[in-house]
Homo-oligomer: A and B are copies of this chain.
Amino acid sequence: MKVVIDGLGGDFAPEEIVRGVIEARKTGGPEIIITGPENILEKEFSEAGGMPAGVEIHNTSQKVEMDEPPSKVIKEKKDSSLVVGARLVKEGKGQAFISAGNTGAVMASGIFIIGRLKGIDRPGIATPIPGEKKMSLLIDAGANADCKANHMLHFAYMGKLYMEKVLARKDPKIALLNVGHEAQKGSKLYQEAYSLLKTGDLNFVGNLEGRELFSEQCDVLVCDGFVGNITLKVTEGVAQTIITMLKNEVGRSVKAKAGALLMKGALKSMKNRMDYEEFGGAPLLGLQSPVVICHGSSKAKAIKNAIFVGAEIVEKKVIEGLGQLL
Contact = CB atoms under 8 A, between A and B. Distances in A.
A240 B267 contact: no
A242 to B, nearest CB: 5
B265 A132 contact: no
A265 to B, nearest CB: 6
Interface stretch (A167-175, A222-230, A300-308): A222-230
Contacts of A238: 213-214, 234-235, 238-239, 242
A235 B265 CA distance: 25
Interface stretch (A9-17, A41-49, A82-90, A243-251): A243-251
A219 to B, nearest CB: 18
Interface string A160-201: 000000000000000001010000011110100000000000
Contacts of A269: 249
A226 B242 CA distance: 25
A259 interface: yes
Contacts of A56: none
Q: Which of A212, A234, A237, A269 has the most CB of B within 10 A?
A: A234
Contacts of A242: 238-239, 242, 270, 274
Q: Is the interface of A mostly helix, strand, loop or mixed?
A: helix
Nearest to A255: B262
A40 interface: no
Given A211-B236, A211-B240, A265 B256 contact: yes
A266 B253 contact: yes
A205 interface: no
B142 A179 contact: yes
Given A179-B142, A239-B242, A252 B266 contact: yes
Contacts of A266: 246, 249-250, 252-253, 256, 259-260
Q: Which of A215, A235, A261 has the most CB of B within 10 A?
A: A235
Interface in A137-159: 142, 145-146
A249 B270 contact: yes
A273 interface: yes
Contact of A229 (B179, B215, B236, B263): B179
A59 interface: no
Nearest to A273: B245
Given A179-B230, A238-B239, A242-B270, 17 more contacts: A145-B185, A146-B187, A177-B230, A190-B226, A210-B230, A210-B232, A211-B233, A211-B240, A213-B234, A227-B227, A227-B230, A230-B231, A235-B238, A242-B274, A256-B263, A256-B265, A258-B259
